[in-house]
Amino acid sequence: MEKQSTLFTGIFGAFIISCGVMVLLPSSQIGALQPQVTWDEGQNSPSDVYPVKLENALGRRPGQSVYAENGCFYCHTQQVRDPQYGADMERGWGVRRTVARDYIFQSVPLLGSTRLGPDLANFGSGTWRNEHHDDRRAPAKRDAAWIYKHLYSPKSNFPDSNCPPYPYLFERKDVGGQPSPDAVAVEGNHQVVPTADARNLAKYLLSLNSSHELKESPTVIKPKEAKK
Residues of the shown chain interacting with ligand HEC in the complex, contacts defined by CB under 6 A: 67, 70-72, 74-76, 116-118, 123, 130, 142, 150, 154, 158, 161-164, 166, 201, 205
The least CB distance from residue 142 to ligand HEC, in Å, is: 6
Residue (67 or 101) nearer to ligand HEC, CB: 67
The least CB distance from residue 131 to ligand HEC, in Å, is: 7
Report the length, in residues, of the chain.
228
Residue (163 or 221) nearer to ligand HEC, CB: 163
The least CB distance from residue 140 to ligand HEC, in Å, is: 12
Residue (101 or 142) nearer to ligand HEC, CB: 142
Closest to 164 (Cα-Cα) out of 61, 85, 78, 76: 76
Closest to 122 (Cα-Cα) out of 81, 163, 93, 89: 93
The least CB distance from residue 218 to ligand HEC, in Å, is: 27
- Per the DSSP assignment, residues forming a β-bridge with 186 are 191
Residue (7 or 116) nearer to ligand HEC, CB: 116
Residue (10 or 167) nearer to ligand HEC, CB: 167
- Asked if 137 and 150 count as a contact pair (C-beta separation under 8 A), the reply is no
Which residues touch 54 (CB under 8 Å, ≥6 apart)?
64, 105, 106, 204, 207, 208
* Cα–Cα dist 142/163, whole Å: 16
- Per the DSSP assignment, residues forming a β-bridge with 171 are 193
The least CB distance from residue 195 to ligand HEC, in Å, is: 13
